């Protein structure tokens, strides 16, 4: 039985409408409080159930109780009675006259989500889902029917919601089915400005940014706190006529290199490329540098600023990491004889990202995903000034730290070494 979407269901504000017209299979909304996530979720649930007869449509919240509290009454109030064939309060299930079923579930019982073929699912408050529920449980339910998903939440650290949102920002073909949006509360026309200003007065800055500005950039303990992707990330292409500077961190997993050029006109350091290689070695990353920048190497327009530990000779090979680079024609290797203190590197990078007078002297090309993640997600150990290395996020930030600390030190150091 064909049914029409009731007009009141289609009433969306501009931000919601922007998402509604997207044809992407997996849509991710990161929104501030009271943006209208529940209304939009309800609208999309009903639209999906009406559009395809005999479809199975799910709304999943972090817990069964939350699903009931957030959506059950809202859903029942929104669906016209003429479209409803049967309701089951116990199962939180609505069967429409066209044979479609809308059901509310909780992610706290993953086994209840297994073994079904689902056409459309809304995952609400996704930031509070347990890690792995999407990949291991929910996504497999969509595969046989090529189902779609709407993932919605408010930032809570750099957890699974951030990972899903980041896929939607990617240009990689592997993520071509994904799209994502970030909407502050203020983008909803239904929230009075005085309410937002009251929240600004009553909440501390980080809480306000997270809850009302939908910002991932506010977690406590960030090492590179001065980095803001809205400010620092853009399009910064390689200029073939200009020298390149390479910051390098020697680590087997991953090997990390940051490719930079200095804009004399802007007096800024531009990160134009990155190399991130897992389970690799210096010889392989040197090969990759040679493959990408052989013209610069041939013209002697490459300078590498590496981890000073690379000067040490490998007991097995009898040669140092620097020797390997030189064999590829990379002769200009600049480093401090004494390993710079971590705090000096961090301070130098933060100062370049944003100085005390507000000057910004580092820009990052949007393709440098690993560096962006590293600057956003490298943390201090709780209650200490030591970098937490357990998540392995620090390597790309370390790579940019060596040249920045050498060329633009936050404090002067005299012991230097140059290998040519």
CA distance 215 to 412: 35
- Residues 23-40, mean pLDDT to the nearest whole number: 94
CA distance 13 to 299: 56
327 half-sphere exposure, CB direction, 13 A CA radius:
12
- Residues 90-105, mean pLDDT to the nearest whole number: 96
- Residues 326-335, mean pLDDT to the nearest whole number: 91
Residues β-bridged to residue 28:
151, 180
Q: What is the dihedral of CA 310, 313, 316, 321, to 10 degrees?
A: 30
Query: What value does the mean pLDDT of the chain take?
Result: 88
Q: How confident is the model at residue 418 (pLDDT cuts 50, 70, 90)?
A: very low
Q: In 34-178, which ranges are continuous DSSP H helix?
A: 37-51, 64-67, 73-78, 133, 139-143, 160-169
> What's residue 2's pLDDT?
55
Q: How confident is the model at residue 122 (pLDDT cuts 50, 70, 90)?
A: very high
Structural contact between residues 351 and 408, judged by C-beta atoms closer than 8 angstroms: yes
Residue 19 structure tokens: 């998402």
Backbone angle region of 379, left / alpha / beta, with phi > 0 → left and psi within -120 to 50 → alpha: beta
Residues 191-224 have pLDDT tens digits of 888 888 888 877 766 668 778 888 775 455 889 9
Structural contact between residues 125 and 69, judged by C-beta atoms closer than 8 angstroms: no
| Exposed / middle / buried, residue 68 (Cβ in 10 Å: 0-12, 13-18, 19+) | middle
> What's residue 250's pLDDT?
86
pLDDT over threshold 60, residue 414: no
The CA radius of gyration of the chain, in Å to the nearest whole number, is 26
pLDDT over threshold 80, residue 419: no
CA distance 364 to 352: 12
- Residues 176-183, mean pLDDT to the nearest whole number: 96
Residues 41-91 have pLDDT tens digits of 999 999 999 999 999 999 999 999 999 999 999 999 999 999 999 999 999
Structural contact between residues 243 and 296, judged by C-beta atoms closer than 8 angstroms: yes
Residues 224-280 have pLDDT tens digits of 988 998 899 999 999 999 999 999 998 878 999 999 999 988 899 999 999 999 988
> What's residue 373's pLDDT?
93
Structural contact between residues 52 and 1, judged by C-beta atoms closer than 8 angstroms: no
Residue 291 structure tokens: 């493959």
pLDDT over threshold 90, residue 309: no
In percent, the amount of the chain with pLDDT more than 70 equals: 91
> What's residue 7's pLDDT?
55
> What's residue 247's pLDDT?
96
Q: What is the dihedral of CA 405, 406, 410, 414, to 10 degrees?
A: 140
Q: How confident is the model at residue 96 (pLDDT cuts 50, 70, 90)?
A: very high
Q: Could you give all domains of the chain from N- to C-terminal order, each with its CATH number?
A: 7-212 (3.40.50.300), 232-419 (3.30.420.280)
> What's residue 420's pLDDT?
42
Q: How confident is the model at residue 412 (pLDDT cuts 50, 70, 90)?
A: very low
In percent, the amount of the chain with pLDDT more than 90 equals: 60
């Amino acid at each position: 039985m064909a049914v029409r979407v009731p007009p009141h269901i289609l009433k969306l504000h501009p931000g919601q409408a922007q998402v509604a017209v997207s044809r992407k299979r997996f849509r991710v909304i990161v929104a501030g409080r009271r943006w209208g996530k529940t209304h939009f979720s309800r609208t999309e649930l009903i639209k999906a159930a009406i559009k395809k007869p005999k479809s199975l449509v799910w709304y999943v919240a972090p817990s069964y109780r939350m699903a009931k509290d957030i959506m059950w009454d809202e859903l029942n109030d929104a669906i016209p009675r003429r479209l409803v064939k049967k309701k089951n309060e116990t199962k939180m299930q609505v069967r429409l006259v066209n044979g479609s079923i809308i059901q509310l579930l909780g992610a706290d019982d993953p086994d209840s989500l297994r073994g079904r073929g689902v056409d459309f699912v809304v995952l609400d408050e996704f930031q509070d889902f347990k890690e792995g529920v999407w990949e291991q449980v929910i996504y497999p339910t969509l595969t046989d029917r090529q189902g779609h998903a709407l993932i919605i939440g408010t930032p809570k650290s750099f957890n699974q919601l951030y990972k899903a949102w980041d896929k939607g920002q990617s240009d990689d073909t592997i993520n071509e089915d994904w799209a994502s949006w970030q909407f502050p509360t203020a983008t909803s026309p239904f929230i009075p400005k005085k309410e937002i200003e009251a929240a600004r007065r009553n909440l501390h800055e980080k809480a306000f940014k997270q809850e009302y500005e939908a910002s991932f950039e506010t977690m406590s303990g960030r090492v590179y706190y001065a980095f803001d992707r809205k400010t620092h990330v853009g399009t910064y292409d390689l200029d073939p006529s200009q020298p390149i500077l390479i910051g390098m961190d020697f680590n087997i997993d991953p090997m990390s290199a940051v490719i930079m050029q200095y804009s004399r006109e802007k007096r800024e350091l531009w990160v134009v490329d990155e190399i991130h290689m897992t389970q690799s070695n210096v010889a392989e990353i040197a090969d990759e540098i040679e493959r990408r920048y052989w013209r610069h190497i041939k013209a002697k327009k490459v300078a590498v600023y590496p981890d000073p530990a690379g000067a040490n000779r490998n007991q097995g090979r009898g040669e140092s990491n620097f020797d390997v680079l030189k064999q590829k024609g990379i002769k200009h290797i600049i480093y401090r004889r004494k390993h710079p203190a971590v705090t000096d590197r961090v301070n130098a990078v933060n100062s370049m990202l944003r100085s005390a007078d507000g000057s910004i002297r580092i820009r990052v090309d949007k393709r440098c995903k690993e560096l962006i993640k590293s600057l956003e997600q490298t943390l201090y150990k709780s209650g200490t000034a030591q970098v937490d290395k357990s998540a392995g996020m620090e390597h790309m930030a370390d790579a940019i730290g060596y040249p920045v600390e050498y060329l633009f030190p936050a404090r002067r150091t005299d012991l230097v070494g140059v290998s040519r």
